[in-house]
A and B are shown apart, each in its own frame.
Chain A
Amino acid sequence: MAASGETEPRTLVEVDNLKTYFFLHEGTVRAVNGVSFAISERRSLGVVGESGCGKSVTAQSLMRIVPSPPGRIVDGRVTLHLHDDGQEELVQVLELPAKGPEIRAIRGKQIGMIFQEPMTSLSPLHTIGNQITEALLIHDPDVTKAEARERAIDMLGRVGIPQASRLVDEYPYQLSGGMRQRAMIAMALICGPRLLIGDEPTTALDVTIEAQILELIKDLQSEYGMALMYISHDLTVVGDMADDIMVMYLGLVMERGSTQQIFDNPLHPYTIALWRSIPRISGKLERLQPIHGTLPNPYISPPGCPFFERCQRCEGGVCDAELPPLQEVEPGHFVRCFGCT
């Protein structure tokens, strides 16, 4: 959905060798173990993987909201490119003080986030309106309360909430799941972020409501010219939302490319295995091919490819000896596999 006919989109976020570990009693979990990617303005990146692959922690690291302790960003760089009247300002997100005003100026203002559970991520004690205006009042001291309320009502209308001027004074429990998710989107968008992160925002919703929310996010993305990072365990949803897709497994990017490349020409055995294990709504009905084995113990990280034990194409002595690098096999299409390059 990139706006065509424009010049090369400018980079918005660059993530370089991000490592976020969780230090637990049982051992260290390398939730994100050297992830690099970039998102350009107005583009959308889909992140897929099973639970424990590090997709949510990657997003939390960008926002600096990794629960700490036990989590800690141990390495890497996140560069935010902010453009203001032709001026480019680079912000090193990971170098900002964890609780300082600088990172708060980014959270909500530059990067907005929508979460999976609208009930648990909204405060039950505050009205929808107060929760939305809070962000505005914090980020822009010039805005008066009345103005903020006006803008909140306007935003609620834009995300498709009927009778926004009445709903603004209601509490989350008075809203249905779909409406809560709309309210959360309004909250994430009120300050006009450059990047919107959606962490499984439709997983808890019914299918027809999910379809509504997905369309809404797409519409708002192009309306506001935002970049989107869309996280889901569901390849088909990600395929519907994203220009580019990144497939993660045990804290590593296994494959990355345009949605077309990942769908039409998946190369990594894990991506292929994921494809073969999900039921489709059309096409020939073939027996599903489950991925062999289970996720390995997260506390142990063996030297080789993390998918080695479950891989059909692995080569002993090669794949289990050394971690394959993420290599470009065709323009824009990266794969972490010795067998694919």
Chain B
Amino acid sequence: MTNQQETLLTVRGLKKYFPIQKGFLRRAAGMVRAVDGVDLELAPGETLGVVGESGSGKTTLGRCIAKLYEVTGGEIVLNAGGETLSIPDLDRDQQKLFRRTVQTIFQDPYSSLNPRLNVLDTVGEPLLVNNLAKGRELEDRVTETIRQVGLRVDYLRRYPHSFSGGQRQRIGIARALVVQPRLVVADEPVSALDVSIQAQILNLLLDLQQEYQLTYIFISHAMSVVRYVSSRIAVMYGGKLVEMAPKTELLENPKHPYTETLLAAVPRAAAGRVRRRVVTSGEPPDPANLPSGCVFHPRCPYALDICRHEAPTLEKSGGGTYVSCHRATELRLQGISQSGQ
């Protein structure tokens, strides 16, 4: 996937810290290191699935990339139709272009839509804000987009409350796509939906990607959903990327112990008969109080002394895999055979 093509997005050393404020004077009492040094590259047209548990920083990463958060440190370089935009140095016009090129689809279709705006206003707002269209032309473009996401055109004047969860998510998708972005950050776009609706939305996202050569960052906690949509998968833990690899490689031959843990935790359809799985004890770390050394070491069954003191870095390990583990080369971890059940 990442051959000699231009890269669409480069993220280097990205950091996002949130201060913890305490007391009357709201003094910073500590830092939540939500994203703590992430590097990645995206090729146009690919889908990078980002998996991790709550608090792993996957949502924050997505929000930084979509410029919904100011980053604390590091660099995001976006290739927006010939122009190279680099966070943090953007002027006003570049900021607008950046936001237009990168759009977001949110998780909860119930809270992410303004109940006082009808479909036309909701989907048309980004066009208006960016001075891309108004009046008749705006309505035409909204109508066109509404049709593409599989909604009926006569819904244009209706308000969010009259739609089901799946339809609302389609409105959210239309709002993201109406400005013709190149990169879409989809943050758990199907986890609030019923399974039958989930499949409709996933297929819609794949079809739209085909049609408009969209690049996706698809954030989800569900490994099977990520497998369905992604070309590559990145695994986050404690604000760091612990592994990133082409999909099949990651699922079959995980290189990081946490990836193995995540895969073992996936409830398996072929079960039902007695199946014992290795369940890793412990819980994800508190991002305000990350462990020393490797963030996963307190839960890692393979941890050595070095893991407690020294943080590993994300290294290339062949086959397009990047892994951040001191023992990556020697461990043989168990994945999920992709051909079998």
Q: Is this pair of chains taken from one and the same complex?
A: yes
Q: Decide: B336 and A212 in contact? CB cutoff 8 A.
A: no
Q: Does A120 contact B (CB under 8 A)?
A: no
Q: Decide: B339 and A283 in contact? CB cutoff 8 A.
A: yes
How does the 8 Å CB contact mask read for A277-316 relative to B, with 1 for contact and 0 for none? 1111111110111110011000000000000000000000
Cα(A215)–Cα(B227), bound, Å: 24
Q: Does B116 contact A (CB under 8 A)?
A: no
Nearest CB on A from B269, distance (A) = 5
Nearest CB on B from A49, distance (A) = 9
**Closest B residue to A234 using CB positions:** B267
Residue A207 contacts which of B266, B269, B336 (CB distance < 8 angstroms)? B266
Q: Decide: B195 and A233 in contact? CB cutoff 8 A.
A: yes
How does the 8 Å CB contact mask read for A161-176 relative to B, with 1 for contact and 0 for none? 0000000000000001
Cα(A214)–Cα(B115), bound, Å: 38
**Closest A residue to B258 using CB positions:** A208
Nearest CB on B from A88, distance (A) = 30
Q: Does A50 contact B (CB under 8 A)?
A: yes
Stretch in contact with the other chain, from A92-100, A135-143, A235-243? A235-243
Cα(A291)–Cα(B197), bound, Å: 8
Please give, as numbers and ranges, the residues of chain B lying within 8 Å of A208 by CB-CB distance: 53, 261-262, 265, 279-280, 283-284
Cα(A178)–Cα(B166), bound, Å: 29
Q: Does A38 contact B (CB under 8 A)?
A: no
Q: Decide: B338 and A212 in contact? CB cutoff 8 A.
A: no
Cα(A279)–Cα(B266), bound, Å: 12
Residue A281 contacts which of B194, B199, B251 (CB distance < 8 angstroms)? B251
Q: Which of B224-245 contact A (CB under 8 A)?
A: 224-225, 227-228
How does the 8 Å CB contact mask read for A193-230 relative to B, with 1 for contact and 0 for none? 00000000000001111111011000000000000000
Known: A212-B281, A277-B199. A240 touches B164 (CB 8 A): no
Q: Does B152 contact A (CB under 8 A)?
A: no
Please give, as numbers and ranges, the residues of chain A lying within 8 Å of B268 by CB-CB distance: 236, 239-240, 281
Please give, as numbers and ranges, the residues of chain A lying within 8 Å of B164 by CB-CB distance: 294-295
Nearest CB on A from B276, distance (A) = 8
Q: Does B196 contact A (CB under 8 A)?
A: yes
Please give, as numbers and ranges, the residues of chain B lying within 8 Å of A281 by CB-CB distance: 223-224, 227, 251, 263, 266, 268-269, 336
Nearest CB on B from A304, distance (A) = 20
Please give, as numbers and ranges, the residues of chain B lying within 8 Å of A24 by CB-CB distance: none
Known: A212-B281, A239-B271. A279 touches B338 (CB 8 A): no
Please give, as numbers and ranges, the residues of chain A lying within 8 Å of B281 by CB-CB distance: 212
Known: A212-B281, A288-B199, A291-B199. A279 touches B265 (CB 8 A): no
How does the 8 Å CB contact mask read for B139-179 relative to A, with 1 for contact and 0 for none? 00000000000000000000000001010000000000000
Q: Does A273 contact B (CB under 8 A)?
A: yes
Please give, as numbers and ranges, the residues of chain A lying within 8 Å of B198 by CB-CB distance: 277-278
Cα(A51)–Cα(B263), bound, Å: 27
Q: Decide: B337 and A282 in contact? CB cutoff 8 A.
A: yes
Cα(A291)–Cα(B164), bound, Å: 15
Cα(A236)–Cα(B223), bound, Å: 13
Q: Decide: A215 and B279 in contact? CB cutoff 8 A.
A: yes
Residue B338 contacts which of A233, A263, A282 (CB distance < 8 angstroms)? A282
Residue A239 contacts which of B203, B261, B269, B284 (CB distance < 8 angstroms)? B269
Q: Which of A237-255 contact B (CB under 8 A)?
A: 237, 239-240, 242
Q: Does B54 contact A (CB under 8 A)?
A: yes
On B, residues with C-beta under 8 Å from A are 53-54, 164, 166, 194-200, 202-203, 206, 221-225, 227-228, 251, 261-275, 277, 279-281, 283-284, 336-341
| Cβ contacts A to B, 8 pairs, < 8 Å | A207-B53, A207-B265, A235-B269, A279-B225, A281-B223, A281-B251, A281-B268, A282-B251
New A-B pairs, 19, CB < 8 Å, besides A179-B283, A259-B273: A51-B194, A206-B54, A206-B221, A210-B267, A212-B281, A233-B195, A235-B195, A239-B270, A240-B267, A240-B275, A277-B196, A278-B195, A278-B198, A282-B337, A282-B338, A283-B339, A285-B227, A287-B206, A289-B199
On A, residues with C-beta under 8 Å from B are 1, 50-51, 176, 178-179, 206-212, 214-215, 233-237, 239-240, 242, 259-260, 263, 273-274, 276-285, 287-291, 294-295
